[in-house]
Amino acid sequence: MSDGLNMSRRQRRTPYTDRVEKAGVRGFSVVNHMLLPKAYQKTVEEDYWHLREHVQIWDVSCQRQVELKGPDAARLAQWMTPRNLSGAKVGQCLYVPIIDDNAGLINDPVLIKLAEDHFWLSIADSDVLLYAKGLAIGAGMDVSVTEPDVSPLAIQGPKAEDLAAKLFGEPVRKIGFFRFGWIDFEGTKQLIARSGYSRQGGFEIYLHGGHLGGALWDAVWDAGQEFNIAPGCPNVIERVEGGLFSYGNEMTRENNPLEIGLEKYCSLDGSVDYIGRAALVKIAAQGVTQALRGVIFDGDKCPTCSIPWPVLVDGKQVGQITSAMWSPRLQKNVGVGMIGRDHWKPGQPVQVDSRDGQLRAGSISDFPM
Amino acid sequence: MSDGLNMSRRQRRTPYTDRVEKAGVRGFSVVNHMLLPKAYQKTVEEDYWHLREHVQIWDVSCQRQVELKGPDAARLAQWMTPRNLSGAKVGQCLYVPIIDDNAGLINDPVLIKLAEDHFWLSIADSDVLLYAKGLAIGAGMDVSVTEPDVSPLAIQGPKAEDLAAKLFGEPVRKIGFFRFGWIDFEGTKQLIARSGYSRQGGFEIYLHGGHLGGALWDAVWDAGQEFNIAPGCPNVIERVEGGLFSYGNEMTRENNPLEIGLEKYCSLDGSVDYIGRAALVKIAAQGVTQALRGVIFDGDKCPTCSIPWPVLVDGKQVGQITSAMWSPRLQKNVGVGMIGRDHWKPGQPVQVDSRDGQLRAGSISDFPM
């Protein structure tokens, strides 16, 4: 399969793309109309081990912010998600599934509460800004919906805290998981959160002001030398093993949040109102018929999963895998996908049709693998 | 610059991607979370000549349809665009800029009127479905907003009509520009419009039913042999010369439709109401301060324009180019971009900073070039 990406202004570069290119990027994905580095010089397996042992710098600018600000900002935020936000505090980051009137997933961003009337939605790959604008215009809400000049840079891996403390001061060590604080950088105040799209720990700096991108990258890079820093990106092996799901891969508008295992982010008792509540309550009452599960399976290294792969029991399809990769730690292939409820118990033997002529024996697994 | 594209389910394949790969695709773009072939074996210059002389088959499935259907479908469609739709007839395709409350462009789709209460918006690269859903939910409208299983296949070039007539019958010759009719294909009724993203003429088949993709591609391919058919894609030289603009490249939410030259699609006399009317009327009264223009400029073949290039007069920036390419017909580089009103007259000498260390002499041009 050809894998060339045709460049244009429409596939937006980030404040770090110049540095990313100098660091030897080999491939990109496109998220929110923006370049996401996806491969450097290391193989995805080398990258996996490095991420688990050291620290990496990731250009995740494509996690665009949708800013909600104004008298109706809190009301709009709550209307968009089944998660009860009534107890949310300034300084908190909250994972908030967004659903439509059929309870279909539109996105699964992180909500950053900057003030009682000021939020950022740090989004996965869909134009949440247009949805929020449509809702605000349609309902006549008094709220501004914009995309600020904010480009997150992630520092991920077990040495991320030492690196962040060296660079930005010891107080960053006190920032709790999914909490944020503020650091000084080149005379500006910047938001730093203990978060990121890996299970190895780390921080995301929500750089406000793209002109500072090169300087921030260089500062992290230079300070990271003693920690064996490398350029990196979300690692598919690590995230599949860890049960981190990807909007557009593991979930689409065809899926509801209960299938994704997001019950704890869904208020179903009527204490808050939101779009899709009636549909979601009905689904909860009936019980979901499929859910995301891990699948560990045999055979040589599996190919790229760019179309869902059938998962079979006794020759009958019982689910599909949507992301998969060879795990050098487990010495097996690892995948994630939707599995029907009759076969979703861990240990269930299955076969995976990896669309390369192979039927691979495997079994259902919990997360983390 | 690396140009690898990392494949995943999230970069959706189309009903034609298997055929596109067999035809030797070398590179893709990503539009509406879907693969758009952008390069085959021919160079962009060879492709340009072929498109002007023969006929090409284009996978433009990424022109996704946003279906509006139901009692409030017509009201929602009109609310979304400044174009007066009161005279629109079933069977018509209408270019409809979509703007937000600030008159910023959200998309510039083609509206296909299937029935009085049934429309498709054939969209450029932004999630119009989420905007329409937001508006409908926010305003409590009785309309369904969905993405049907429709994947346009384009036949473009001077021999497209002969090819379409051979394959689908002589009546297709009578379909007027931006009108559509119906053809039979493998026992199904399919929509065919005289339209497409080139100035060379042709048709777009809005294939309903992705399982028929391979068969439709093969039928067009086989019938096209006598017309010297080749696989192709929107050609940047041809579209820049012809004044066909690209959402995300030439225009973003920062631009209003008057800057793009879309006055004739903007009702400003109060005869219809739509989102952004007050803002647009105000802009019209003040007059726009910049507009899209062509720029023809010297030097050797210019690089890819993936960041806007400054356009200078007397060393001062007066605009920016957003798409550009070497034209083998004009033996010059051709570009398009926003130019300030003091310097937008055709013939105005300018310099183009193509960000490769060259300042290139050129001049402002009308379309077509």
What is the pLDDT at residue B5?
95
Cβ neighbours of residue B249 under 8 Å, at least 6 residues apart?
Answer: A8, A9, A10, B322, B323
- Rounded to the nearest angstrom, the minimum Cα separation between B284 and chain A is 22
What pLDDT digit, counting tens, does each position of A176-223 carry?
A: 999 999 999 999 999 999 999 999 999 999 999 999 999 999 999 999
% chain B with pLDDT above 90: 99
A279 near B CB under 8 A: no
Q: Which residue of A7, A133, A134 is in closest CB contact with B306? A: A7
Give the C-alpha separation, B119 to B153, whole Å: 19
Give the C-alpha separation, B109 to B106, whole Å: 10
Residues of chain A contacting residue B29, judged by C-beta atoms under 8 Å apart: 5-6, 8, 10-11
Where do we find the tokens 């492709």?
B47
A11 near B CB under 8 A: yes
B199: pLDDT strictly greater than 60:
yes
Contact B125 A33 (CB under 8 A): yes
Assigned token pair, A38: 């996806």
Is the bond leading into A328 cis (omega within 30 degrees of zero)?
A: no
Q: What is the pLDDT along chain A (369 residues), one digit of tens a residue?
A: 346 999 999 999 999 999 999 999 999 999 999 999 999 999 999 999 999 999 999 999 999 999 999 999 999 999 999 999 999 999 999 999 999 999 999 999 999 999 999 999 999 999 999 999 999 999 999 999 999 999 999 999 999 999 999 999 999 999 999 999 999 999 999 999 999 999 999 999 999 999 999 999 999 999 999 999 999 999 999 999 999 999 999 999 999 999 999 999 999 999 999 999 999 999 999 999 999 999 999 999 999 999 999 999 999 999 999 999 999 999 999 999 999 999 999 999 999 999 999 999 999 999 999
Q: Which residue of B28, B248, B307 is in closest CB contact with A6? A: B28
ipTM for the assembly: 0.97
Helices (H), chain B: 17-22, 44-53, 73-80, 128-139, 160-168, 213-224, 236-242, 277-286
Give the C-alpha separation, B302 to B287, whole Å: 33
Give the C-alpha separation, A337 to A197, whole Å: 18
A355 near B CB under 8 A: no
Residues of chain A contacting residue B322, judged by C-beta atoms under 8 Å apart: 9
The DSSP secondary-structure symbol of B239 reads: H
Give the C-alpha separation, A248 to A107, whole Å: 9
Handedness of CA B56, B58, B63, B64 (dihedral sign): positive
B83: pLDDT strictly greater than 50:
yes
- In whole angstroms, how far apart are CA B49 and each of A187, A274, B141, B232, B334? 54, 55, 48, 11, 16
Cβ neighbours of residue B180 under 8 Å, at least 6 residues apart?
Answer: B91, B92, B93, B112, B191, B192, B193, B194, B195, B206
Q: Which residue of A5, A33, A139 is in closest CB contact with B248? A: A33
Residues of chain B contacting residue A140, judged by C-beta atoms under 8 Å apart: 138
Give the C-alpha separation, B21 to B24, whole Å: 5
What pLDDT digit, counting tens, does each position of B157-168 carry?
A: 999 999 999 999
Residues of chain A contacting residue B307, judged by C-beta atoms under 8 Å apart: 9, 13
3-state SS record for A2-66: CCEECCCCCCECCCCHHHHHHCCCCEEEEECCEEEEEECCCCHHHHHHHHHHCCEEEECCCCCEE
Q: A-contacting residues of B 293-312, CB under 8 Å?
A: 304-308
Contact A127 B125 (CB under 8 A): no
What is the pLDDT at residue A224?
98
B2: pLDDT strictly greater than 60:
no
Q: Please choose, from the candidates A69, A146, A11, the residue with its C-alpha nearest in 3D space to the C-alpha of residue B104.
A: A146
What is the pLDDT at residue A1?
37
Residues A78/A85, Cβ–Cβ less than 8 Å: yes
Per DSSP (E only), the strands in A165-235 are 180-185, 188-193, 202-208, 230-232
Indicate yes or no: pTM above 0.90: yes
Q: Please choose, from the candidates A50, A29, A26, A52, the residue with its C-alpha nearest in 3D space to the C-alpha of residue A39.
A: A26
Residue pairs between chains A and B whose CB atoms are closer than 8 Å: 182
What is the pLDDT at residue A2?
42
- In whole angstroms, how far apart are CA B189 and each of A262, B15, B182, B184, B186? 42, 17, 6, 5, 8
Residues B240/B180, Cβ–Cβ less than 8 Å: no
A38 near B CB under 8 A: yes
Residue B301 CA neighbour count, 13 Å, CB half: 9
A25 near B CB under 8 A: yes
- In whole angstroms, how far apart are CA B147 and each of B5, B121, B123, B144? 25, 10, 11, 10
What is the pLDDT at residue B204?
98
Where do we find the tokens 């557009």?
A248
B218 near A CB under 8 A: no
State mean pLDDT over B101-126. Answer: 98
Cβ neighbours of residue B95 under 8 Å, at least 6 residues apart?
Answer: B83, B108, B109, B110, B111, B178, B265
What is the pLDDT at residue B61?
98
Contact B304 A7 (CB under 8 A): yes
What is the pLDDT at residue B314?
97
Q: pLDDT band at residue B34, thresholds of 50, 70 and 90? A: very high
Contact B305 A9 (CB under 8 A): yes
The mean pLDDT of chain B is 97
